[in-house]
A and B are shown apart, each in its own frame.
Chain A
Amino acid sequence: GAVVSQHPSRVICKSGTSVKIECRSLDFQATTMFWYRQFPKQSLMLMATSNEGSKATYEQGVEKDKFLINHASLTLSTLTVTSAHPEDSSFYICSARDRGQGTNSPLHFGNGTRLTVT
């Protein structure tokens, strides 16, 4: 089946530093990837839609300058949390849609990245 690899799975960083999270589709190409944030025991909140070769589309209330998204190829999207603060600590999950399966096909999810900012 389609596999999405997310790296790292856990990261601890100091306040004020930046952290980059990678999301790779291993056996399919993804024109579109999605980044979600999940707070403890809560649902997934869509942060932004990452589009290969163009700017990401951010959801209302998400700071684009803080959460930088780059989708440089059909198999890789990155999310960089800039100048991280403790309130950015969360579980970040990426997902990708197989470009060969149509726009209504299910999303494939990575295993998430647990970010802790100290």
Chain B
Amino acid sequence: GNSVTQMEGPVTLSEEAFLTINCTYTATGYPSLFWYVQYPGEGLQLLLKATKADDKGSNKGFEATYRKETTSFHLEKGSVQVSDSAVYFCALLFSGGYNKLIFGAGTRLAVHP
């Protein structure tokens, strides 16, 4: 079946540290991949996306590359800020039926000054 696996959190970093949040997926066909971010008490916001192999999504200093050979879509940022503290969800768009979005478990990031 289709699924997304994320590294467990919480991830705790100091400001300006390098961030990596691992995400791997299992899917039939060629899914689109997304990273969403959820700030406390809010819904989800799309952070970035990639629709085919070797695509790199980027936004607000965050990047992720769609790696078909390793079925991965790891999220990276070179220098995190306190305002990046949130929960990050990796998601897969399952192309079947109504094109449902399947989420990973989420990874909580806490950035300290």
Known: A104-B51, A106-B49. Contact between A43 and B106, CB under 8 A?
yes
Per the CB 8 Å criterion, the residue count for chain A at the interface is 25
User: Would you give the 0/1 interface string for B38-60, flagging 1 where the beta carbon is closer than 8 Å to chain A?
Assistant: 00011111100101000000000
B83: which A residues are within 8 A, CB to CB? none
CA distance A42 to B46 in the complex (A): 18
B42: which A residues are within 8 A, CB to CB? 111-112
Known: A109-B44, A111-B42. Contact between A103 and B99, CB under 8 A?
yes
Q: Is the interface of A mostly helix, strand, loop or mixed?
A: strand
B95: which A residues are within 8 A, CB to CB? 103-104
Known: A43-B106, A104-B51. Contact between A109 and B45, CB under 8 A?
yes
CA distance A51 to B97 in the complex (A): 12
Q: Is the interface of B mostly helix, strand, loop or mixed?
A: strand
Our pick among B89, B100, B104 for the contact of A49 (Cβ within 8 Å) is B100
CB <8 Å contact, B101 and A34: yes
CB <8 Å contact, B89 and A104: no
B45: which A residues are within 8 A, CB to CB? 109
Sample of 18 further A-B pairs with CB below 8 A, known A46-B100, A106-B49: A34-B98, A34-B100, A41-B106, A41-B108, A43-B89, A43-B103, A44-B44, A49-B97, A57-B98, A93-B43, A95-B44, A103-B99, A106-B46, A107-B46, A109-B36, A109-B43, A112-B42, A114-B41
Interface residues of A (CB under 8 A from B): 4, 6, 32, 34, 41-44, 46, 49, 51, 57, 93, 95, 97, 103-104, 106-112, 114
